[in-house]
């Protein structure tokens, strides 16, 4: 069974809505976690990691940057996808 982790940050709810939609489309087990809580997750157990973030003031939130930098090697060792939400949603 494929295990997917979706890590996201959402201030107004649109990215969370996208994450929930993706969750509903995926087979296997899917865990949704806010970026600020994602460091508690053992990434090794996931086959696929999806990161979802919006753009705020021309950049991505620090929680997403921190998670991505801290886990760069693990992210590069498995399929991962970055979902970007911005004006126009
Ligand atoms: C304070 C603020 C700043 C934003 N800055 C940008 C921006 O620089 N570029 C952009 O394309 N969208 C910008 N947006 C739009 C958001 O990226 C967009 O509304 C997104 O869907 C919000 O996602 P969320 O609901 O998950 O927080 C901004 C929104 C807010 C509230």
Per residue in 16-27, pLDDT (tens digit) is 999 999 999 999
When pLDDT is cut at 50, 70 and 90, the band that residue 89 belongs to is low
Cβ(79)–Cβ(18) under 8 Å? no
What is the C-alpha separation between 6 and 28, in angstroms, rounded?
A: 13
Number of alpha carbons in the 13 Å side-chain half-sphere of residue 1: 6
Q: Which residues line ligand 1 (CB under 6 A)?
A: 10-15, 54-58, 85-87, 89
Task: Indicate which residue's Cα is closest to atom 31 of ligand 1.
Answer: 56
Q: pTM of the full predicted structure?
A: 0.93
């Amino acid at each position: 069974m494929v295990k997917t982790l979706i890590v996201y940050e959402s201030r107004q709810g649109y990215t969370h809505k996208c994450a929930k939609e993706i969750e509903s489309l995926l087979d296997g087990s899917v865990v949704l976690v806010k970026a600020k809580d994602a460091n508690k997750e053992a990434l090794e157990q996931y086959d696929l990691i999806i990161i979802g973030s919006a753009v705020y003031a021309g950049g991505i939130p620090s929680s997403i940057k921190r998670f991505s930098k801290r886990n760069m090697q693990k992210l590069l060792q498995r399929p991962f996808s970055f979902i970007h939400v911005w004006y126009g949603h």
